[in-house]
Amino acid sequence: MLKSIFLTALAVAIALGGGAGSVWLALDSDLEFDTVTVGDWSAFPSRGTPDADPYAKARFSRTADLALGRGEGLTFTARHDADGEPLRGSCTYRLEGPTPSARFWTLHARDVEDRLIEPASNRASALHSYAVLRQQDNTVVTLVSRHPQPGNWLAVRPGEFSLVLSLYDTAISSSSRIGEVELPRIIREGCDG
């Protein structure tokens, strides 16, 4: 009798613990069924739409984020550089390469808690397409660092972070050829220590 009560309690504890653990893992990861990877960047075209998978909907509800609809644009996120290393605030990165055609785009950094990184100085916490310096071939080179840099500079703080590139009013958000888009490469130039 005592043995069957113990085994029943153990089975219930394993079921509840396993279920809660799997939900926690699903909600805290960036894995979604329709993830599109382009170089160092990942996008989730169905995020915030009725077509999103149930885990993405739950994650979206929990974070209270505002996703772009399919006709509004697309957001790409990068957590690693071109060498596969996590992005760290103690390093300086160069983003270079083409930006897909869009009416407007923004680039900002988020910390590991997915909060906007506010720079220590009076610098803006994001760059946008109307206020950047362009190369002669119309590409944009941006330096991401906690130390001031010449040209287009996105200030970050120490610790791991992710870069978020949002493209507004772009044809690729509703295109089936989204995987063929070229995005800027994230090249680590050096680190402090």
Q: What is the pLDDT of residues 126-136, one digit of tens each?
A: 888 888 888 88
Q: Which residue has the higher pLDDT, 178 or 1?
A: 1
Angstrom distances, CA of residue 157 to CA of 17, 66, 86, 111, 126? 36, 24, 14, 9, 13
pLDDT (0 to 100) of residue 43: 80
Q: How many Å apart are CA 66 and CA 78, to the nearest integer?
A: 18
70 DSSP assignment:
T
At 96, list the tokens.
């270079």
Let me know: does 156 contact 109? Beta carbons within 8 Å.
yes
Angstrom distances, CA of residue 31 to CA of 27, 43, 160, 178, 185? 9, 11, 19, 18, 22
H-run or E-run covering 75: strand 73-78
Confidence label for 81 from pLDDT (cuts 50, 70 and 90): very high
Q: How many Å apart are CA 133 and CA 155, to the nearest integer?
A: 16
Instruction: Give pTM, 2 decimals.
Output: 0.78
Amino acid in position 179: G
Q: How many Å apart are CA 124 and CA 155, to the nearest integer?
A: 8
Q: Which residue has the higher pLDDT, 40 or 57?
A: 40
Q: How many Å apart are CA 193 and CA 185, to the nearest integer?
A: 23
Let me know: does 96 contact 141? Beta carbons within 8 Å.
yes
Strands 152-155 and 142-145: parallel
Asked whether the CA dihedral 127, 133, 135, 137 is positive or negative, the reply is: positive
pLDDT (0 to 100) of residue 162: 92
Confidence label for 82 from pLDDT (cuts 50, 70 and 90): very high
